[in-house]
Structures are given as C-alpha cells and as structure tokens.
Amino acid sequence: MMKGWVAVFGIFAVSATCFTPLGAQNTTGIGSFLRSFVNRENIVGVLNSIQGDLSPQLKAIFQQIDTDAIATQLLNQTDRIFAELDRSNFTLSNLAALPAALSQIFAPAGNNGNAAQNASVQNFLQNILGAQAPNIDTYRPLMQEALPLLLDQVPGMQLVQGQCKKDIGLLLEGLLTGQAWAMNMFDSYGKPPAGILYGNLKWLGQYDECMRVEATIPKVGLQKIDQHFKGEYCKAYIKFPSGVAAGAGGNAALLMGGDQFIQLGTCFPDSCTSADITMFGQGTTLMGNTTFPGAQCEKSKVPKLSEDPKAIACIAVVSVFAFFLVVGTLIEGFGIDKIVTPAKRSHQIENYVNGFSNGGFVMDTVVPLKEKNGHIPNGNDSHVQDVNTKSNGEAVGNGVSVNDVVVSEKTRVEEPQAPALVRLFTAFSLYTTLPRLLSTHQGSAAITCLNGIRVMSIGWVVLGHTYSFGLGNVDNIVFAFEETKRFSFTAVGNAFFSVDSFFLLSGVLAAYLFLRQLRRENGIRPKTMIMYYVHRIIRLSPLYYMLTFIYATLTIYMGSGPMWNGKLPDGEFCANNWWTNLLYLNNVINNREQCFALSWYIANDFQFYVVAPLFLIPLYLKPLIGVLLLLLGFVGYGLAAAFTLAGMEGGVHLFGNPNFFADYYIIPWCRIGPYLVGLMVGFILYKTDLKIKFNKFLAALCWLVSLGVIFMVVYVRHDETQNGPWEKDAVIAYEVISRPLWALALGWVIIACATGYGGFINTILSYQAWVPLGRLTFAVYFVHVFIITIYQSTRINDITISDFTVAILFTAYITLSYVAALVASLLFEAPILGLEKMILRK
C-alpha cells in the first residue's frame, strides 16, 4: 500500500500515469482517485517512522515539529490540490498537464528563477506550518534525507538501492520546488497517444529532452558539495492488457504476433541502471491486467568502443584499405608510377601462350606486340609478318591463332611495368578503379539486357525491405496491414521473386561463359577448372567478408535513440557462427542463428556455382546427356521442395511460421530450380551464338505467354488476401512450381532480347546507364540493409505509413545504397579484382 503524501506523486505518478488509462478507472477524476490514498493515519505513521533513520542534527529539527498539526495541515493542503485537479477535469487517462497544475499551486505565474521558486515554496510551507515553518535552506536537507525514506513506501522502490534512490529523491525535490530541469525530465516521459487500438504502442516520449538534462543541486545545510546528475532515457516494456486487445478485435496482436508490449519512454537520473528500473517496475503493483517484464536504459545499450577489440580490429582493417586507396591515388595522380617505370626490354621465348578474357572470368594475359610500319616482327631480321587482324584491341600477327591464342614468335617485346609495390598501390587508385566501375562499355558478345534486369531486381528487393523492415516502427500498423490487402500491393508483397531473378541470371552467366571458355580452349583443362572456382572466390569474398565484419562489429556503434536496441537481431550470432559465412555454409549450418542473415542468398549462389559443372560439362561433351541431367535436377528439386513443405508443421507461409525461413526458404535444394533454368537458358544462348530465327507470330505468342505467366505468378496469391488462406496442398504446389515458372518466363525475355526479338523492352533493359549500376548490384544487396536498419532504428518517433511516405523512403534508400555501394566497391572489390588480374597476367 502506498503511504505518505509524497508517495502520492511517487516517481511522478508513474503508476497512475502509465498504467491506469488501460484499466477500468480511466474516467475517474484524478483528485478523487489520489485522495483515496491519503489519510491522517498514513501521514502520521510515515512521519514517525522516519525519525529513527535521521541523523542527530536532522532529528533535532524534526522533533521541533508537531506531527499531528502537520498532518492536519497536509490533509487540508492535499484536499486543496485534489480539488484543483478535479476542478480542472483531470482524469486518469489524461495526466499530460499535471506539471502545469502543480506549478499553479506551488509557484506564481512568471516565477522562473531559483530565488523565485524558493520564495514560492517558502510561502507554501508557511501556509502549512505557520510559525513553525523553517527557512527553506534549513528545510531542504530534511527533504533530501526524508524523500528517499518516503520512497521506500512506494511499491517496488525498496528494491532500488544506492545512488539511484538518492538521485530519485533529488528529482522529486526538484519537481516539488519547481526546478526547470526536473520539469523537463518529467515532461519527457511518454504518454498515451491516440491510436492505441490501431497498434500505436510505442509511447516513446522526448528522447533528446531527457538526455540533455544536466541537474545541479547546490549544497545547502549539512550537505558538503554540490550534487550533479544527468538525464538517462530508459524504455520500459509493459505487457499490453489482453482484455483491451480483445476489445479491439485482436488486430494489434494479430499483426505483431502474440503478446504485445507498450514501450514507455521514461527519464531517470543517470545513476540508475536498467536493473534498477526493472526491479522498481516489477515490484510495483500495476493496475489492470498488465505486467512489467523489463526496461532498457540508454547507457546499457552499447559497450565502449575502446574496450571492444573486435571493433578496433575492424577499424584497423578498413583503415588499411583506405590507406592503400589514398596512397595509390596520390601515386597515380602525381605520375610517380610512370617515373619509376623501367625502359622497354625484349625477351627470347619459344611458344608463348596468351590467355583469355571474358566477362565472367578475369584471367586475361593480354600482351601487346610491338608493331613496326604496319608489321609485327617474327623474330627473324629479314622477314616480317603482315598484321591481318586484331584481338582484344591488340595487334596479332600471322602466326597467331585467335581461337587457340598461341603466339609463335620467338621474340616478344614487353611493355614496361612499374615495380610490384607501386602496382600494388595503384590497383587501389581511384584513377584506375572509378573509371572501371562507371564505364558503360560492354563486350561485343555481352548479353546487354541482363544489366537492366539486374538493376530492376535489386530495386524490387529494396522496395520490399522498405516495407518489411519498417513495419515494426509505424504508429498505424493496423491501417498499414489493411493497405497491404490491395491488389496493387501484391507485387510488393511478392518481391521474393527478385531473388529468383538473381538465381536465374547467375545460372545464365555461369553456363554461357563457362561453355564459351571450353570451346575457346577446345576442351576441358585442369587450369580452367581451378580458375573457375578461384576467380569466383576472389570475386565474391573480399567485399562480402568485409561488409560482414563491419556488420558484426561496428553496427552497434552506428546509432542511438529510443528505438535503438544497441544490437542487431542477427549480429549477436556472429561471435559463434562467423565461420559458416566464411565457408558459404551459413544457410545450412546453424541457419537459425545466422550472422548477417541476408547473406543466405550469397551462400546459395556460391553452392549452385560449385555444382554447376556437373551439368555444364555433360552439356558441352554430350548435350543430350546434359539436358537429361538438368531435367533430373528439376525432378529432384521438385520432390525435395514438396516433401520439405509437406513435413513442415505450423503452416507454410514465410511470416506465419517461424520455421519456414530456416527449414525451407534458404535451403539450397529447395531454391535451385530457377538456377537450373538459368543453366538451360545459358546453354541455349551458347549453342546458338545469340542467333536464333523465330517466326514473328511464334515470337509474339511466346511474349504473350511469358508476360501472362509473370503476371499470374505474382498476382495469383492476392486471392488469399480476399478469401482467406489457401489449403496446404495448394500452397505447396504454388511454392514448388511458381519459382521455376517465373524463371522460365524471365528466361524467354533474356533469349528474345539477346537474339533480336526484344523490341522496345530490349531497348529499355539494354540502356547503357544500367551498366555501371549493374556492376554495383552485389554491393547494394548488402549495404542497403545497413541504410534501412540504421535509419529505422535511430528515429525518435514512429512513422505514419502511407504510399507517399514509402515512396520517399524508397527513393532515399536506393540512392544512399548506391552511394554506399560505390564506396564499398572502390575499397574492397575493384582493387582486389585488379590485383587478381595483375597476378594472373604475370
């Protein structure tokens, strides 16, 4: 039971302010409600009980006071306060103006300074104590020592110990004496907003107002020194009353899954910890059907950077990359690389074998041959060879076979090269990497429409995540959920197919480039197979590893605020499971505790790339056998996916079953279907050399069927939003068939555009601006997670979601993601590919 008149305001009336509006008394006048806690016996009992705990000096002051007279005066004064509150029509559902009501009683209008506030309090004490009223400077030490003792009468406060309790007492004193800093702390508390039954359960208050408080309590009486503390923002979690949720039709619970919690922003002295606030809340008897599971204070969220060796190591590695970039740019910018380059020199060689170059494998060793008067010397002083062709922009003599790429000259003139250390630095130079990334040049055999598909697909991914990542931070989630039932929203809700587009593209390029390479070499060579895997690892790993490293170690230092939890849901798993990411196995090993969960895609893509030669080599040697193996692969995929879904308990929906993601959605044998389609499309393009003759009517029919399949696959699930969930068998059939169908329809678009039947669609997809944007797609896929998560988590209030709001956010996300991707590629990707090319050329 709450005892004492100070307990009426106990922790700024937190119990009444925060919890009773959810109960049954929300129309009761607050004055009448508070009056029920205050009577003469309570006041006298509290005053007598604290005398034994006072110091001798304060006890002497206390004993001079007639406690019975004080009780009478306090009862009269509190009746006046309660009457004023009732007269002002205060109820338990609206206490936001309580500080103003107190200031009307305790301080005259316009008294803002400390001296005026003290005078106001002095008048108040004179009204209560009459001639016995001590001087305010004498009375303040009594308040400072008595308030913590009175706080013990507040349920839950007995569990709070040490400096935290003392500072709360000072805070209460500041409120009673009208101190501006104390009023700011109280004012920063979250308050019940409108739209609670529409999911508006984050009563976050004013974060900045609390964190900017700096309280200084001057020394008075027996106090030896000034006392100081700062405001500390703490977020309390309070279980939303089940009865209220049921009264709203259960909408909030339906959307946010099970038990719902009010997130209440509070402001306490910075000497208090999350444990202090949690103990206080759990010890408090809350009104209504509520519980208090815990609290989180700002300073407990993030460890000190100086005490985090992993974060320091990450900063050091990033700094090394940045150092190489800066130094390399300066070296090339000032021409130092040319100054230290030696003169040209000749080498006597027998049969020199030139390498190869294509868009997928960076293994070219292009060696320029010195041309003289339109001829290339053949090693014999009396004879020269005619220059009859060019390959990759370099002159090639008669003795050179373009297919076998064998140079038969005995003498080769090398272009001079800078020392290895200089070339190491210049590989990071912006003069080298930036033009390479932003170039719109494509080879003559490039499938140009792939860039447009790639860029549009990553845009689809970011748009889907703009909605899905942000739904937890909106104040109208029930309205937002209703909006997702629109037919037009179905394409956003099915953004999952964008990932299948990437699997398709990966399969097309793997087959097309690998088969062309085997034909160029007229067979399968061990070196080719080795470099097939080595290049893929070099292509993917540096950027992927570095961004994962940053995500796991530095992201926790990138934000603050009421919505910032100090850690990311999947970031905490990195300490134990980072090695699964390094081996590209995070989608199958410990996949419920993935580090950087979005990287499941790259693990699947790498695994598909590893097994692709099992289909591609037979397609090259014995095409019929290769096609039969692909068909067998489709059957295996279908059976694996169907049986996995059939054995799954709890539904077969991504958002309706917590096991769906780990047991099906990211499993390679359940996602390989579109990749196999890609291998078939790539084989067709290779076999026909991008030259297929179609009857115009047949081409038009294929376009109609393809677009019809794309539309059907995306929008057929809208039926669920209108008529309720499908039966399990129907969902299984859709999940198994829809992804290969999507890939087949998009595969026709690629074939048509690559062979001259794409029309205006090919013009759009092959637009040159897509080329540099397409090169950055891999980096955008990873960095957009940083952009969205940090923005959503560092806001100080919720978003009221609408189509226009999402359009603005999406535009900002995709733009910033490309900017961040460019920086990441310039640091971690393009230089490494340049170094690979340099090493292999050597």
Tokens of 717: 């699930």
Percent of the chain with pLDDT over 90: 42
- How far is residue 9's CA from residue 734's CA, in Å, rounded to a whole number? 60
Task: Name every residue whose Cβ is closer than 8 Å to that of residue 55 and which is 6 or more positions away in sequence.
Answer: 145, 222
Residues 6 or more apart in contact with residue 258 via CB below 8 angstroms: none
Check residue 193 and give its pLDDT.
86
Report how far apart, in Å, the C-alpha atoms of 663 and of each of 493, 599, 605, 659 are.
21, 16, 17, 6
What span, in angstroms and rounded, lies between the C-alpha atoms of 345 and 365? 18
Kindly state the average pLDDT of the residues 102-117: 43
The model's pLDDT over 159-201, given as tens digits with 9 standing for 90+, comes to: 777 788 888 888 888 887 778 899 999 999 998 888 877 778 8
User: Above 80 in pLDDT, residue 410?
Assistant: no
CB 422 within 8 A of CB 337: yes
User: Is residue 447 pLDDT above 80, yes or no?
Assistant: yes
Q: Is the pLDDT of residue 524 over 60?
A: yes
Tell me the two tokens of residue 96: 């936001």
* pLDDT above 90: residue 677: yes
Band (pLDDT 50/70/90 cuts) for residue 126 is: low
Does the pLDDT at position 593 exceed 80? Answer: yes
Provide the token pair at 9.
């305001």
* The token pair that represents 125 in the structure block: 């004490």
Q: In this structure, is the dihedral angle defined by the CA atoms of residues 163, 164, 167 and 169, taken in order, positive or negative?
A: negative
Q: Which of 413-422, 721-730, 787-796 has the lowest mean pLDDT?
A: 413-422
Alpha-carbon gap, residue 137 to 524, rounded angstroms: 95
User: Which tokens in the block code for residue 320?
Assistant: 């090394």
Neighbours of 343 (CB within 10 A): 5
SS3 assignment for 117-179 = HHHHHHHHHHHHHHHHCCCHHHHHHHHHHHHHHHHCCCCCHHHCCHHHHHHHHHHHHHHHCCC
Residue 151: CB atoms within 10 A of its CB come to: 23
In the predicted model, is pLDDT for residue 401 greater than 60?
no
Question: Residue 72's pLDDT is what?
Answer: 73
pLDDT at res. 761: 96
Buried b / exposed e over 577-611, threshold 16 CB at 10 Å, is bbebbeebbbbbebbebbbbbebbbbbbbbbbbee
In DSSP terms, 360 is beta-bridged to: none
Q: Which of 123-127, 134-138, 139-143, 548-552 has the highest mean pLDDT?
A: 548-552
Maximum Cα–Cα distance for the chain, whole Å? 128
pLDDT band at 584 (very low <50, low <70, confident <90, very high): very high
- Least confident residue range of 396-410, 420-434, 667-681, 800-814: 396-410
DSSP state of 828: I
At 796, the pLDDT band (50, 70, 90 cuts) reads: confident
pLDDT of residue 572: 76
Give me the pLDDT at residue 389, please: 37
* pLDDT at 825 > cutoff 70: yes
**The three-state (H, E, C) secondary structure of 270-288, written as one string:** CCCCHHHHHHHHHHCCCCC
Spatial separation of the C-alpha atoms in residues 435 and 832, rounded to whole Å: 15
Q: What is the mean pLDDT of residues 324-353?
A: 72
pLDDT band at 108 (very low <50, low <70, confident <90, very high): very low
Residues 6+ apart with CB under 8 A from 380: none
Percent of the chain with pLDDT over 70: 68
Task: Tell whether the model's pLDDT for residue 644 goes beyond 80.
Answer: yes
Query: Residue 376's beta-bridge partner residues?
Result: 385
- DSSP assignments along 319-336, one per residue: HHHHHHHHHHHHHHHTTH
Q: How far is CA 441 from the centre of its chain?
A: 34
CA–CA dist 142, 173 (Å, integer): 11
Q: Report the distance separating Cα 99 and Cα 83, nearest Å.
A: 16
Q: Mind listing the pLDDT tens digit for each residue in 213-248?
A: 998 887 654 455 678 899 999 988 887 766 555 544
pLDDT for the residue numbered 396:
36
Instruction: Give the C-alpha separation, 164 to 182, whole Å.
Output: 15
Q: What is the DSSP string of 643-699?
A: HHHHT-SS-S-TTT-TTHIIIIIT-GGGT-HHHHHHHHHHHHHHHHTT-----HHHH
Helix, strand, coil shares of the chain as percentages rounded to 5?
A: 60, 10, 30
**pLDDT tens digits for 467-478?**
888 777 888 877
Look at residue 782 and tell me whether its pLDDT is greater than 90: yes
CA distances from 9 to 31, 97, 151, 522 (A): 12, 14, 10, 88
**Inter-residue contact 675 to 504 (CB < 8 Å):** yes
Handedness of CA 296, 298, 299, 303 (dihedral sign): positive
Q: For residues 573 and 595, is the Cβ–Cβ distance under 8 A? A: yes
Q: Over 80: is that where the pLDDT of 155 sits?
A: no
Structure confidence at residue 58 (pLDDT): 57
pLDDT of residue 79: 73
Give the sign of the dihedral formed by CA 783, CA 464, CA 459, CA 609. positive
Given a cut of 70, whether residue 366 has pLDDT beyond it is no
How would you class 795 by CB atoms within 10 Å of its CB: exposed for 0-12, middle for 13-18, buried for 19 or more?
A: middle
Distance in angstroms (rounded) separating the CA atoms of residues 825 and 842: 24
Mean pLDDT of the chain: 78
481 to 14, 28, 326, 485, 795: CA distances (angstroms): 32, 34, 49, 7, 21
pLDDT of residue 137: 54
Q: Model confidence at 445, in pLDDT bands (50, 70, 90)?
A: confident
| Distance from C-alpha of 272 to C-alpha of 570, rounded to nearest angstrom | 29
**CA angle, 269 then 273 then 279, to 5°:** 110
Return the CA Rg of the chain.
36
Helix axes 98-106, 180-187, angle to 10 degrees: 160
Q: Taking the CA of residue 529 as centre, how many other CA atoms within 13 Å lie in the half-sphere pointing to its CB?
A: 11
In this prediction, residue 5 has a pLDDT band, given cuts at 50, 70 and 90, of very low
In this prediction, residue 302 has a pLDDT band, given cuts at 50, 70 and 90, of: low
Q: Where residue 434 falls among pLDDT bands split at 50, 70, 90? A: very high
- In this prediction, residue 769 carries a pLDDT of 94
Q: What's the rounded mean pLDDT across residues 276-286?
A: 71
The pLDDT value recorded for residue 55 is 60
How far does Cα 618 stand from its chain's mean position?
43
Q: How far apart are CA 392 and CA 445, in angstroms?
A: 12
pLDDT, average across residues 421-450:
91
Q: Name the band, by pLDDT with cuts 50, 70 and 90, for residue 22.
A: very low
Higher per-residue pLDDT: 582 or 13: 582
Asked whether the predicted pLDDT for residue 274 surpasses 80, the reply is: yes
Cα–Cα distance list, 451 to 226, 359, 607, 676 (Å): 67, 13, 23, 20
Q: What is the pLDDT of residue 12?
A: 39
Contacts for 669 with CB less than 8 Å, ≥ 6 apart: 636, 637, 640, 641
The dihedral sign for the CA sequence 527, 529, 530, 534: positive
Tell if the pTM clears 0.85, that is, is over it: no
Can you read off the two tokens belonging to residue 319? 């700094």
Higher-confidence residue of 85 and 527: namely 527
Nearest Cα residue to 433 out of 825, 782, 773: 825
Closest CA to 74 of 32, 151, 130: 130
Residues 6+ apart with CB under 8 A from 464: 492, 493, 495, 496, 498
Sign of CA dihedral 380, 384, 389, 393: positive
Place of tokens 């096991």: 659
3-state secondary structure (DSSP) of residue 374: coil
Locate the domains of the chain by residue range: 5-300, 343-416, 439-841
| Distance (Å) of CA 524 to CA 114, 620, 630, 803 | 89, 9, 20, 54
